[in-house]
Amino acid sequence: MPASAPHETLQPPTQRPLTLQDVKTLGLAALGGALEFYDFIIFVFFTAVIGQLFFPPDTSEWLRQLQSFGLFAAAYLARPLGGIIMAHFGDRSGRKRMFALSVFMMAVPTLLIGCLPTYATAGYAAPLALLVLRMMQGAAVGGEVPGAWVFVAEHVPEHRVGFACGTLTSGLTFGILIGSLVATAVNKIYTPEAVRDFAWRLPFLVGGVFGFFAVFLRRWLAETPVFEEMRQRKALVQELPLKAVLRGHGVSVAVSMLLTWVLTAGIVVVILMTPTLVQKLYGIAPAQALEANSVATLSLTIGCVVFGLLADRFGAGWMLGLGSLALLAATYGLYLGVGTAPEHLVPLYALAGFCVGVVGVVPTVMVRAFPAAVRFSGLSFSYNVAYAIFGGLTPLAVTLLIKDQPLAPAHYVAGVCAMGFLVALYLLSAGRTRFATLSAS
């Protein structure tokens, strides 16, 4: 069979139940991921203020918004480099080491962003420094997310991988919820003038502290049994892991990149951009938009676990297809509904957030797409390169398109969901819902 095709016949999954140690590992990994993802994502909730403070005051409103989202996108462009380097050492020397390093690399720039001078003080040096720190954050999260999925998937029984990946993804999205709650609190406690003067810094300073706490949490985690088995059998990859991935696993890379596109559409457009977009499109007050976003993100954290459990029960291909269609419908319902009845923002956004939970199925497919020896590198390369392209360009594309088409966000999500549905059909028709065994052999 060609090396680029999904290759191994699945071995019967270990049917042992989840142990207390499994639950502890999932809990600590998810909590640490939440704290780190808060650090990365808090920026998006203050893009409007940051645009005012870090760019010349005579910049037009649409250009300022575009520049702010450009800074947000820059972090995604840095993700592949950080992810590939950390994944290389994760496949060669251990998952746990890189899992701990990534969170430390996130905490430092987050703390420094909270201390940066603005354009009024430092001129163009201010946005340049912000750009550098955002790229450092991107490199850190590039290793964190794929590393976390691999870490939890290799700790649990194979028939609970959907639950493990869904729970970890839920933890990451819970970091978004923390960011939304903190942003809501800042906007409620302080006046707009106070937010511009100093209060925007507080979430970043708090995030730096969160990050160092997450470093402490990672000390309590053990190396994955799959990696330990490979190390004992001296079966670790000897060549450059990425070289092995690109040479022998082309189909797995392609499918993983397409699924990452689905993930970016749900997270970036529906969860991260929508609070700002509904303010611009429908005149929703900032505090109201952020409150609705908090409800939607809470629904998302629940949805990730639910979709993960259902993937274990019915198969990842089925849940990916059904979830993509549900997200398509819910996104149109959100944008069309808020346009005609703004008072229904919260329930419509909550439903859309729950449907974004289909992203919890994505890593369930991806961790099985690559053999254990190059799993971290294969997943990290596919995920981070795709996220750099789609996650980085999506805010810019939607911001430009929305000038002429107010429903551009919904149209974009719908198109990507349709592609996700086609990928699900491919998985089901070929019997490839799970590509490979998670075992070390």
Whether the per-residue pLDDT at 10 is higher than 60: the answer is no
Q: Are 106 and 37 in contact (CB under 8 A)?
A: no
Highest mean pLDDT among 202-206, 279-283, 428-432: 202-206
Q: Are 84 and 147 in contact (CB under 8 A)?
A: no
Q: What tokens were used for 369?
A: 């797409």
Q: Select from 14, 144, 12 the least CA-distant residue to 78.
A: 144
Which of 42-46, 213-217, 434-438 has the least mean pLDDT?
Answer: 434-438
Whether the per-residue pLDDT at 438 is higher than 60: the answer is no
Alpha-carbon gap, residue 18 to 156, rounded angstroms: 7
Q: Are 138 and 105 in contact (CB under 8 A)?
A: no
Average of per-residue pLDDT across 25-33: 86
Whether the per-residue pLDDT at 38 is higher than 80: the answer is yes
End-to-end CA distance of the chain: 18
Banded pLDDT at 4 (limits 50, 70, 90): very low
Q: Are 424 and 318 in contact (CB under 8 A)?
A: yes
Banded pLDDT at 15 (limits 50, 70, 90): low
pLDDT (tens digit per residue) in 312-358: 999 999 999 999 999 999 999 999 999 889 899 999 999 999 999 99
Whether the per-residue pLDDT at 295 is higher than 90: the answer is yes
Which of 32-41, 69-78, 301-310, 385-394 has the least mean pLDDT?
Answer: 69-78
Predicted local distance difference test score (pLDDT) of residue 115:
93
Banded pLDDT at 298 (limits 50, 70, 90): very high
CATH superfamily of 20-429: MFS general substrate transporter like domains (1.20.1250.20)
Angle in degrees, 0-180, between the axes of helices 61-93 and 125-153, rounded to the nearest 10: 40
